[in-house]
Structures are given as C-alpha cells and as structure tokens.
Structure 1
Amino acid sequence: MPVPADIGVGPGADCLAALEAYAPADSTQVDLRRQFLAHLARHPDDGWSRTCPGAHLTASGLICSPDADQVLLLHHRKLGRWLQVGGHIEPTDTTLAGAAYREALEESGLPVRLIPGIVHLDSHEVPCGPVRSCFHLDVRYLLVADPRLAPVTGDESHSVRWFPHDALPTDESSVTVLVDIARSILV
C-alpha cells in the first residue's frame, strides 16, 4: 500500500519541520524535543539516518483500534520485547510520518490510518550500527486499524498480536505511555 500523497516532502527538512511543529505537553518532552533538534543541527545531512554514528532519528507508531480498546504490539526478534511498530528512516522515506506509516504497514501487514502529528518522543540506547553507544531518537505517532483483521508476522518479529489496552504483555513505560496517549486522544 503506497504512502498517502499528503504525507510527503523529504527526510532531512521534514524531520526538522515536524519536530519544530511538535508542541510537547510536559517538561520531559520539551527537553527531548530540544535534544532532537540539537542533534539535527549538529548533523544536518544525516541526523535522521542510520548512517549517523552514535545516534539517529527513528519513526515508530502505536497501532490501536479506533476506540483504543485494542493495541497491536510485536515481539521484537532482536530485542526480545513486546513493542510498538517502528524503525529506521530510509532514504526513500519523504517524511517522519511517512516512515512511521511505512513501518506500520511492513511490520503488521494491516491497512492503517495515520493520526496526524507527533504524539511522543523517546531516546533509548540500542545495539545498532558500528558505534557504541548508539541511541535511537524515536519520534512516535498514533495509527488506527481494524482489530478484527489478523496481523502478519514479518522477519523482524516473533509474533504480532492484538491485546486489550488493560492487559498488555509488557509494563515497559515506553509502551504504556503510548497506550495512555492513544486513549486520551481516541476515547
């Protein structure tokens, strides 16, 4: 399924524009936004790319039912944890939102609808690339899909499943905060 036409312009410029447009609601998110923008200022040509040593932006999204009662998570093959869909921004991605949308399609196999706008930022260390320590500067979105549809398990996961919002297979705060945000937006 192609990325909708209204999601695109170019990764470098769009990363900056999307983060500048994000209006965080709390001081932690304000600080992360400042850090992400500083990273892009230091690495204007590749701060969004996995080729940027030490840290790079990534795009992820929580897929949930339209009423946010069901949440789709994947059991990540490399990390061995239940997480939202997402990953690296590719040179062919035109925007952060488009990257999150593409990752959602690839990792779930489901038709999804992207809710416009960044909903959360997260920075976490990962085993990625030749330079250690490496950090993913994760820009997060919200997506909606029909929970009656069965997801597809791809190469990057052991399992992809729907869960009730109040019976998640993880208590990892990076996931639970997204569920809380989804419920505040959709309910």
Structure 2
Amino acid sequence: MTALHEDAVRALTDWTPDGAGQDELRRDYLAHLAERPDGMWRACLPGHVTASALVVDPEGGRVLLTLHPKVGRWLQMGGHCEPGDDTLAAAALREAVEESGIADLALLATDGRTAPVKLDRHQVRCAGKDRPENTHLDVQYVALAPAGARELISEESLDLRWFGWDELPADTDRSVRELVARARTLL
C-alpha cells in the first residue's frame, strides 16, 4: 500500500458524513480500498478513487466551474490521483490549482482539520471514447480562493467561469448543485 492509499483510508475513516447516503458511499469507498491496493490509480478498473475541489470565493459569493472537455458540462476542478500526491487532500488541491490557475488556494478546514465535504460516485470514460466507462469514486473538498481571485484557463478546460451561488448554469448536474449547496452551508 502506498502512503496515498493509507491517507485515503484514514481520511474516509475519520470523516463524519452528512446523511445516510453519504455514509453508505463512504463505506463503499473503504471496501474498494480494502480490496484494491491499486484503488487510487487510474489503471484500477473498473473503478478508482479521484479527488476534486469546488473553488469558492466566499467574499464574492461565487464558485468557479470548469467546462470539462470530455464531459461537456460545468464541473468542479478535479481528477486522478498521481504518484507525487502525498494525501488525498493534496491531490484535490493540486487539481484545483492546475485547472483554475489560482496558485494561492487553500482547502477549507473545520476544527483545524482538512476533510472531505461530499462523495460522489459516477461513470465516466476516462480511458477514451472507445473504451468502457469506469467508475470514479470522487472525494470532494472545498478550496477557498482569495477575494477577487482571477482564473487562468488551462488545456484541461474548454472554459472557466465564476457563478454566483444561485446563478449556476441551467444544465448543471445534481451532484455539482449538491456540492455547491454543501459548500455554501459550511461557509
């Protein structure tokens, strides 16, 4: 087992989810990791753990979403864990910084501790359009942006855009809406 795998188990074990559905997902994620020493890596099929972060500007009352090139929808920043990631939280923060272009993001901490805020299990074709779908076991965090932060689009996005709490695009999926609502509640 890698240090990242051990950290993911610790983070999920220590996290107190909000509601029975989230607790069931947490238990499923932990079972996946118990069965799969490679469960953190993209090569683990048919599913693997991913890390994401919703970038929030609390003072501006807005969230930054990326128009994902493979999915074609507005999503939070996130993706696959990499060998250089020491912790699951570090993987989420790395993805948020890379995809937003905002270098001075900080993950939301509660009681002095960084912890996930939500889990989401979804199907995606991360291995290519001609390959079967994989299951992403996404562990979601909130990343705080400084007031007035300016995004910088990367090759991983078709577009980046700030949206007010109540001004998400009409076709925003349920999972992203729930993540935004959870972040708003926590802030």
- TM-score for both structures, normalised by structure 2: 0.90
Distance 2:182 2:126 in 1: 27
Could you tell me which of 87, 95, 98 is aligned with 2:87?
95
Q: CA, structure 1 residues 68+52, in 2 after alignment: closer, same or farther (shift >3 Å)?
A: farther
Determine helix, strand or coil for the equivalent of 2:152.
coil
Does the aligned pair in 2 maintain the 1:10–1:93 contact within 8 Å? no
Q: What residue in structure 1 maps to residue 107 of structure 2?
A: 114
Post-superposition CA distance 1:71-91 (Å, at most 9, x none): 000000111100000000001
Q: What residue in structure 2 maps to residue 66 of structure 1?
A: 58
Q: What residue in structure 2 maps to residue 13 of structure 1?
A: 6
Could you tell me which of 66, 77, 87 is aligned with 2:69?
77
Q: What residue in structure 2 maps to residue 168 of structure 1?
A: 168
Does the aligned pair in 1 maintain the 2:67–2:159 contact within 8 Å? yes
CA RMSD of aligned residues (A): 1.5
Deviation at 1:10, TM superposition (A): 2.6
- Runs of 5+ unmatched residues, structure 2: 109-113
Distance 2:123 2:147 in 1: 31
Does the aligned pair in 2 maintain the 1:64–1:72 contact within 8 Å? yes
Does the aligned pair in 2 maintain the 1:68–1:165 contact within 8 Å? no
Q: CA, structure 1 residues 67+21, in 2 after alignment: closer, same or farther (shift >3 Å)?
A: farther
Distance 1:72 1:146 in 2: 12
- Runs of 5+ unmatched residues, structure 1: 1-8
Residue identity matched to 2:132: R
Post-superposition CA distance 1:93-140 (Å, at most 9, x none): 011000000001100011211111110000000002376231000000
Does the aligned pair in 2 maintain the 1:147–1:162 contact within 8 Å? no
Q: What residue in structure 2 maps to residue 25 of structure 1?
A: 18
Q: What residue in structure 1 maps to residue 28 of structure 2?
A: 35
Does the aligned pair in 2 maintain the 1:64–1:147 contact within 8 Å? no
